[in-house]
Amino acid sequence: MARRCDICGKGTISGNVVTRKGQPKKKGGVGQHIGVTTKREFRPNIVTVKALIDGTPRTIKICTRCLRAGKVQKVV
């Protein structure tokens, strides 16, 4: 199942988990240093809803930002 919004096309993107060593300067330390970076995924909040598309009810996968913005009309 593809994690992609049918309206805006938002999908999964990759990034890094950055682990830091040391005490931060604002807590009295000498500053933090980057240790190891490992890959991770940022996933959008995708929900499956029944919506009116061109006047007919269809089941689509949509991100919650598009749903809150009112880009589709849900079928009740």
Mind listing the pLDDT tens digit for each residue in 36-62? 999 999 999 999 999 999 999 999 999
Q: Taking the model in full, what pTM does it have?
A: 0.73
Indicate the average pLDDT of the chain: 94
CB atoms within 10 A of CB 5: 22
Which H or E run contains 65?
A: helix 64-69
Question: What does the alpha-carbon distance between residue 44 and residue 63 come to, in Å, rounded to a whole number?
Answer: 7
Placement of tokens 């006047």 in the chain: 55
Q: For 56, what's the count of Cα atoms within 13 Å in the CB-facing half-sphere?
A: 1
Domains belonging to the chain, first-starting first, are 13-74 (2.30.170)
Residue-level length of the chain: 76
Q: How confident is the model at residue 68 (pLDDT cuts 50, 70, 90)?
A: very high
Placement of tokens 């029944």 in the chain: 50
